[in-house]
Structure 1
């Protein structure tokens, strides 16, 4: 069985791809040690979006880049593993951050049994 001694950071962009992002974060708290949100947006926008969505988190990126935030989180939380769940746009971030592993949100969703947001192809034309 995999260790739950894990710090999980999820990008806001990855959360937007989930059908039930708040539920996914709640679920993650049951199998991780620490769960937080990182973003490259200005901190006041990040905080507002997190607050309005009611997301559970133990850390936010604050006024820094995602790479800087992950480095700070690594220094603050001592766990066996560090995983960053992001999007195609954020995939290369962990290349510059020691100890972090990148997981594409669609892969993480499949593993964790989270639903990906789907958009209706019928739009407003449904009879």
Structure 2
């Protein structure tokens, strides 16, 4: 049985690729110890996007790079595992941050049964479909 002694950091760009990012975060909160969002965007943009989307999280990256944010998160949360869910653009970040494992949003979505924006059928999801970045 997999351990839920896990800190999970998800990039904002990875959330953009999910058809239902809020539901994915709610799902992840059930099997993680700590869950947060990181981004390389300026902190005022990151905070605004997270607030407007209503995402629940324990931490944000703040005014720093993803690498710096992951290092800070690692120092604040003591768990058995640290996983960063990102996109191709952010895949190399964890090579410079001790203890973190990278998981592509595509692989994470497949493992957790989350839907990607490219796989959603508008008629199938109506009226419950969340707005995506393409609308």
Kindly provide the CA deviation profile for residues 20-75 of structure 1, in whole angstroms up to 9, marking residues without a partner as x.
Answer: 00000000000000000000000000000000000011000000000000000000
3-state SS in 2 of match to 1:74:
helix
1:72 corresponding residue in structure 2: 72
Partner secondary structure for residue 118 of structure 2 = coil
Per the normalisation by structure 2, the TM-score is: 0.87
Residue 28 of structure 1 corresponds to 28
CA distance in 2, matches of 1:23, 1:51: 15
Q: Distance in 2 between matches of 1:110 and 1:85?
A: 12
Provide the rounded CA distance (Å) in 1 between the counterparts of 2:81 and 2:118. Answer: 31
What are the ranges of 5 or more consecutive residues in structure 1 without an aligned counterpart? 121-127
2:62 corresponds to which residue? 62
Q: Which residue of 1 aligns with 2:104?
A: 104
**2:16 counterpart residue number:** 16
- Separation in 1 of the partners of 2:58 and 2:24? 14
Aligned counterpart, 1:47 = 47
Q: 1: CA distance between counterparts of 2:104 and 2:77?
A: 22
SS in 1 for 2:47: helix
Number of residue equivalences = 120
Q: Given the two structures, how large is their TM-score scaled by the length of structure 1?
A: 0.93
How large is the Cα RMSD of the aligned pairs?
1.0
State the SS of the aligned residue for 2:116.
coil
Runs of 4+ in 1 over 2 A off after TM superposition: none
